[in-house]
Amino acid sequence: MSAATVRGTPVAASAFANLSSMMRSLSYYRPRALRRGAPLEAFSQTENIIAFCRVLLAATTLAVFIVDPRQPSFRPDLGLVVLSSYVGFSLLLFLLARAGYVKPEVRGWLVAADIAWIAVITLFTEGGATPFFLLNMFVISSVSVRWGLAASAPITVLLALLYPGLILFAGHVIDADAFPFARAHWFRPIYLLALGYLVAYLGEHERRSKQKLGLMLDLTTVFRRHRAPASGFTRLMRWALDYFAAQRALLVLRDPESGKFFTWEVARRPGGSRIGLRITDGEPFPFSFATSTEGFLANELRPGAGTALCYDVVSGAMQRKAIAPDIPLPGDGRAQALLVAPVLIQRQLRGRAVVARETRRKFTRDDLEFLLLLVGQAAAGFEAVRLQAKAEEVAVLEERARIARDLHDGFIQSLAGIDLRVEACKLLLQRDPGRVPRELEDLHQAVDRGYREVRHYLAVLRGSGAEAHDLCATLDRLAAEFSLRERLRVHLARPPADPGLPAATSYELTQIVREALRNAVRHGHATQAVVKLATGPAHLYLVVRDNGSGFRDGNGTTDADGFLVPAAAPWSIRERAATLGASLRVWSRPGRGAEVSLVVPAPPGAWQRVADRRKA
């Protein structure tokens, strides 16, 4: 017995030693992509499914053991206790998983516990209906779902070695008659290796699909406003290194304003990662054999024999091309395989993303397709953030221009009028001092009017802008204001119901009417004016006409019909009309007044739909 023990013990001892070291590594084996992107809900669901399958497997094994007439060759009574204990263990883990107590850091120890149970159950079911394949395939499947092929392959080899080693150990140490070693103990591990590889391959495919989905979802958080683009680029390249198991990633972008090329590089080494940025006048990696819309993979980079499989992202054409020996490659010659995707913004080449492996492991077409998708979505996200920032800048400029127009239409003109009255008072002090008190009273009224205009404008800026929503009510107040202050009789013709325009549109139209009436009073000395507002299915019409003196025809600013050339129209009205996308026409005849007309376009039925919503 002692000699047999010496011959058999090293096999089982070696298997158990490998199991111990592997479980310690598995408990901390968490791929970077999984640490980053696996949501807690997805992890909990996976562990719940594994725990439920463990319960089904344990119950099935116990039921088969009870009903099978062929009893195991070694202690069937203890076998029943072991299987019942395994069922209890499975139920306990299921309840813990449902309650959320199973954490990622204990998964490796759960696998170790499953393998230990397999070893014990195998001993007490050998010779009967042994659940050898069911138990082992469950462990391989659970490892494959959790960690993919990289972890399930060594586990499969370990289980294949453990089974014959366990039988040899039991035959030499426990009972040679109860554990005779037969050819089945050699062939079963071979079948297990084949089945384990198939299951692991399918699990790896599923895991990679989840990784892809996680990366695509994470892209929405890479580029955001008020976050430096370089931070997003670095995160994206780190993710690419993790997913493609590469050693180097580069992102080359051309600045459209300066024409310079910015190259971000992340290189992974055993001691950590190195991040660098280079700015060059020319493209560092031209890849002249590929067109601007082509991405490619190259697994053969030997000088004079390098080839690349190129894929056109626009036409979908795929062809193999030769790589010129003088083309510079990333990695100072250490790159063994390349993945390259063009960075296209509005179908214009703005740079390239490069992933390089410095090992002999090759890239696949699936890798190329996913990199093209990843870069395309990242470019779209980056461009969306850039356009958002640009839109905010434009909005600020438009707001400044609007404030400038408002100041020109109101406060600045009031100051100009005050300045003229002050000059008039200075002249009257010398020529006719008796008229000075009256002029000072008029000056006081002009100052008071300007003061109230400024107060009103500040109130509008501070307010919520609700006044601008009700255009008809605002025009009513505007007509009454000019009738009282300027003694201008304003006839207002408008729809019975408010058209329900957007606040910005209502505000601009109100300011156009205000400026047109102010010009009629101050420059045309009008006494009456008509403001007409009408809506159609696709347009809004606004007309302001007065009986003043009209515009002077200086330097041929009006045509034969009396319409001013576009550049001769009042600039504030002209800019506001351009903001609304409206067509503006200004008619004037000396002594017959002036007419300002606008046509504001809108989608068919837009005014009516907005009005219906406001009524509802």
pLDDT digits (tens, 9 = 90+) for 324-343: 877 787 877 788 899 999 99
Of 64-73, 195-204, 237-246, 356-365, the least confident? 64-73
Amino acid, res. 220: T
pLDDT of 536:
80
pLDDT of 580:
87
Of 20-34, 481-495, 512-526, the least confident? 20-34
**Residues 225-251: what's their mean pLDDT?**
82
pLDDT of 546:
93
Domain boundary among 388, 406, 431: 388
Res. 16: pLDDT tops 50? no
Residue 92 lies in a domain: yes
Q: Are residues 157 and 276 in the same domain?
A: no
Q: Are residues 357 and 272 in the same domain?
A: yes
User: What's the structural domain count of the chain?
Assistant: 3
pLDDT of 429:
82
Mean pLDDT for the chain overall: 79
- Higher pLDDT among residues 457 and 354, named by residue: 354
Q: Kindly indicate the confidence band of residue 129, based on its pLDDT and cuts at 50, 70 and 90.
A: low
pLDDT of 203:
80
Most confident by average pLDDT, 87-91, 210-214, 412-416, 559-563: 87-91
Res. 602: pLDDT tops 50? yes
Which residues, 6 or more positions from 561, have their beta carbon under 8 angstroms from its beta carbon?
587
List the 539-546 sheet strands across, edge first. 489-493, 528-535, 539-546, 593-601, 583-589
Q: Kindly indicate the confidence band of residue 515, based on its pLDDT and cuts at 50, 70 and 90.
A: confident
β-pairing verdict for 248-254 and 348-357: antiparallel
Domain boundary among 217, 241, 256: 217
The enclosing H or E element of 154 equals: helix 149-173
Q: Are residues 193 and 303 in the same domain?
A: no
Domain coverage including residue 258: 225-388
Q: Kindly indicate the confidence band of residue 394, based on its pLDDT and cuts at 50, 70 and 90.
A: confident
Q: Which residue has the tokens 């306990």?
A: 92
Q: Kindly indicate the confidence band of residue 604, based on its pLDDT and cuts at 50, 70 and 90.
A: low
**Residues 593-613: what's their mean pLDDT?**
71
Q: Kindly indicate the confidence band of residue 225, based on its pLDDT and cuts at 50, 70 and 90.
A: low
Residue 338 lies in a domain: yes
In angstroms, the CA 502 to CA 493 distance is: 20
Q: Are residues 495 and 535 in the same domain?
A: yes
In angstroms, the CA 111 to CA 107 distance is: 6
Q: Are residues 163 and 231 in the same domain?
A: no
**Which CATH number goes with the domain that contains 269?**
3.30.450.40
**Residues 349-367: what's their mean pLDDT?**
90
Q: Do 408 and 572 touch, CB atoms closer than 8 A? A: yes
| Residue 558 CA to its chain's centroid (Å) | 53
Residue 213 lies in a domain: yes
- What counts of helices (H) and strands (E) characterise the chain? 17, 13
Most confident by average pLDDT, 28-37, 444-453, 607-616: 444-453
Res. 291: pLDDT tops 50? yes
- Higher pLDDT among residues 18 and 391, named by residue: 391
In angstroms, the CA 6 to CA 456 distance is: 102
- H helices of 28-75, in order, are 32-37, 40-67
β-pairing verdict for 318-322 and 307-312: antiparallel
pLDDT of 529:
94
If we measure between CA atoms, which residue out of 295, 265, 257, 273 comes closest to residue 375? 295
Residue 413 lies in a domain: no
Write out pLDDT tens, residues 253-290. 888 888 899 998 888 877 778 888 899 998 888 888 89
pLDDT of 237:
85
Amino acid, res. 426: K
Residue 590 DSSP symbol: T
If we measure between CA atoms, which residue out of 86, 98, 136 comes closest to residue 115? 136
Residue 441 lies in a domain: no
Most confident by average pLDDT, 50-54, 76-80, 164-168, 343-347: 50-54
Res. 111: pLDDT tops 70? yes
The overall pTM is greater than 0.75 = no
- Higher pLDDT among residues 213 and 91, named by residue: 91
Residue 435 lies in a domain: no
In angstroms, the CA 122 to CA 440 distance is: 113
Instruction: Residue 531: count other Cβ atoms within 10 Å of its Cβ.
Output: 22
pLDDT of 95:
92
pLDDT of 4:
35
Given phi > 0 = left and psi -120 to 50 = alpha, else beta, which region is 346?
left
**Residues 547-553: what's their mean pLDDT?**
79
**Which CATH number goes with the domain that contains 590?**
3.30.565.10
Q: Are residues 201 and 267 in the same domain?
A: no
The enclosing H or E element of 455 equals: helix 436-462
Share of the chain above pLDDT 90, in %: 14
In angstroms, the CA 295 to CA 292 distance is: 8
CA distance from start to end of the chain:
95
**Residues 444-473: what's their mean pLDDT?**
69
Q: Are residues 166 and 309 in the same domain?
A: no
Q: Kindly indicate the confidence band of residue 24, based on its pLDDT and cuts at 50, 70 and 90.
A: very low
Q: Are residues 83 and 106 in the same domain?
A: yes
Q: Do 475 and 544 touch, CB atoms closer than 8 A? A: no
Residue 207 lies in a domain: yes
Q: Are residues 91 and 149 in the same domain?
A: yes
pLDDT of 92:
93
What b-and-e string marks burial along 336-371, b requiring 16 or more CB atoms within 10 Å of the CB?
bbbbbbbbbeeeeebbbbbbbbbeeeebeeebbebb
Q: Give the DSSP letter string of 366-392.
A: HHHHHHHHHHHHHHHHHHHHHHHHHHH
Q: Are residues 186 and 229 in the same domain?
A: no
Q: Which residue has the tokens 């009256």?
A: 438
Most confident by average pLDDT, 69-83, 121-135, 245-259, 566-580: 245-259
Residue 85 lies in a domain: yes
**Residues 390-407: what's their mean pLDDT?**
75
Q: Do 545 and 488 touch, CB atoms closer than 8 A? A: no
Please, is 460 exposed, middle or buried when counting C-beta atoms within 10 Å of its C-beta (0-12, 13-18, 19+)? middle
pLDDT of 12:
41
Work out the angle between the directed axes of helices 76-98 and 107-125 (0-180°, nearest 10). Answer: 160
Q: Give the DSSP letter string of 260-320.
A: -EEEEEEEEETTEEEEEEEEESS-S---TTS-TTEEEEEEE--TTT-EEEEEETTT--EEE
Domain boundary among 173, 191, 217: 217
**Residues 205-218: what's their mean pLDDT?**
77
Res. 220: pLDDT tops 90? no
Instruction: Residue 194: count other Cβ atoms within 10 Å of its Cβ.
Output: 12
Q: Are residues 162 and 234 in the same domain?
A: no
Q: Which residue has the tokens 């700015």?
A: 279
- Higher pLDDT among residues 554 and 304, named by residue: 304
Q: Are residues 199 and 260 in the same domain?
A: no
Length of the chain: 616
